[in-house]
Amino acid sequence: MSILVTRPSMPLAEEYMEEIRPIFESHWMTNMGPVYKKFQKQLISFLQVPEMSLFVNGHMALEMAIDALGLKEKGGEVITTPFTFVSTIHAITRNGLKPIFCDIKPDDYTIDPEKIEALITDKTVAIIPVHVYGNICDVEAIQKIADKHGLKVIYDAAHAFGIKYRGIGIGNFGDASMFSFHATKVFNTIEGGGIAFKDKAYASKLHELKNFGIHGTDDVLSIGGNAKLDEFRAAMGICNLRHIEQYIAARKKVVDRYNERLSGVTGIRLCSLRPEVTPNYAYYAVYFDEKKFGKSRDLVFEELADNDIHARKYFYPAINELSCYKNQYPQNTPIAHDVAAHILTLPLYEELSLEDVDRICDIILG
């Protein structure tokens, strides 16, 4: 049987059917109906954030979060990281902004705050850092820089659902945080996403952007799109949120077994979590040093694939090496390029057996 890099969390079919039953009774399937509002309220409570707006997916959430902060109107540059999924950078460029790539830290792969200020110019309007694999950015250092230079901060928190830093929900940092509820994430609504924020005035702008710019019943104030989360996916979110702590606890057992088998192995480097973080065990990323370990990342990838085990080179290549960005934004980010060439995320999901984890490790270490 194939072992994929991830497997979506799903409730029992009967549980989901019960949750969607009112939708069949009311015929209210979209446009921020009662299921959406119920889910929104539960998310705000679970994530411990002041406000939350829900979207059809994380990408549209981030794209519209940038627009809602007025950055699209200003134009200019956004400092971000090349070590992320391409969606992050697409959201910037589709808003008419220029990504300025800052290198990452070699231990947790998040943006290096010590390298941000040198990239700030009179054209800089924002910083968009990325919480990577559930490792969170240095939020204090980034906010200090943003305050000094009058910049907005939007976090790509696609990997950070449920994480707390010093007991505070990670969605409380910066001006906004985007969470992805894609099927491959720790928490899913099949497809979906959300923006956590503090400023209540921001809510109406996000609402308009995801609903064609419509204001009230008689006017359209802005040029928006259609990015609403529907009732059926909200119902899936309600079900999965009910079990999220169970999912995370199961993932922790898988991570603990990986750590038992792979920690301390010469040539293998595991991610380090920041102190005072309550993790979500989103991904298990391994850096392979071919000279010390004896096998390259690519060889390990192939050996696993030969055994019907599908790891992922995530993120590879670095964004500023992709065809659509390479020649336009070729900033120098050697650490990101090195990590992208050596990192492999191993299979991780709550139903992955410890026996399968051992089999994966046996192949890697064999």
Extended beta strands in the chain, E state: 51-55, 77-80, 98-101, 124-128, 152-156, 164-165, 168-169, 176-180, 193-197, 214-215, 219-220, 268-270, 277-278, 284-288, 343-346
For residue 134, what are its two tokens?
């559930």
Region 286-299: what's the mean pLDDT?
A: 98
For residue 181, what are its two tokens?
């509820």
For residue 332, what are its two tokens?
């120098």
CATH 3.90.1150.10 maps onto the chain at: 244-365
**pLDDT at 74 exceeding the cut of 90:** no
State the DSSP H helix or E strand holding residue 165, giving kind and residue range, or none if neither.
Answer: strand 164-165
> CB of 314 within 8 A of CB of 57?
no
Whole-angstrom distance, CA of residue 345 vs CA of residue 52 = 30
State the DSSP H helix or E strand holding residue 99, giving kind and residue range, or none if neither.
Answer: strand 98-101
Amino acid at 90: H
**Would you identify the CATH topology of the domain 13-242?**
Aspartate Aminotransferase; domain 2 (3.40.640)
pLDDT at 16: 98
> CB of 220 within 8 A of CB of 212?
yes
For residue 360, what are its two tokens?
């994966």
Region 75-81: what's the mean pLDDT?
A: 96
Residue listed under structure tokens 């973080």: 277
The tens digit of pLDDT for each residue in 304-331 reads 999 999 999 999 999 999 999 988 877 8
Q: φ and ψ at 209, to 5 degrees?
A: -65, -35
Taking all residues of the chain, what is their mean pLDDT, rounded to a whole number? 96
**Whether domain 244-365 has CATH 3.90.1150.10:** yes
Q: Which of 206-210, 216-220, 289-293, 361-365 has the lowest mean pLDDT?
A: 216-220
> CB of 181 within 8 A of CB of 189?
yes
CATH 3.40.640.10 maps onto the chain at: 13-242
Q: φ and ψ at 282, to 5 degrees?
A: -70, -45
Q: pTM of the predicted model, to two decimals?
A: 0.97
**pLDDT at 272 exceeding the cut of 90:** no
Whole-angstrom distance, CA of residue 278 vs CA of residue 228 = 30
Region 45-60: what's the mean pLDDT?
A: 98
Whole-angstrom distance, CA of residue 34 vs CA of residue 22 = 9
State the DSSP H helix or E strand holding residue 155, giving kind and residue range, or none if neither.
Answer: strand 152-156
Q: Parallel, antiparallel, or unpaired: how do β-strands 152-156 and 51-55 relate?
A: unpaired
Q: How many CB atoms lie within 10 A of CB 289?
A: 15
Whole-angstrom distance, CA of residue 68 vs CA of residue 192 = 18
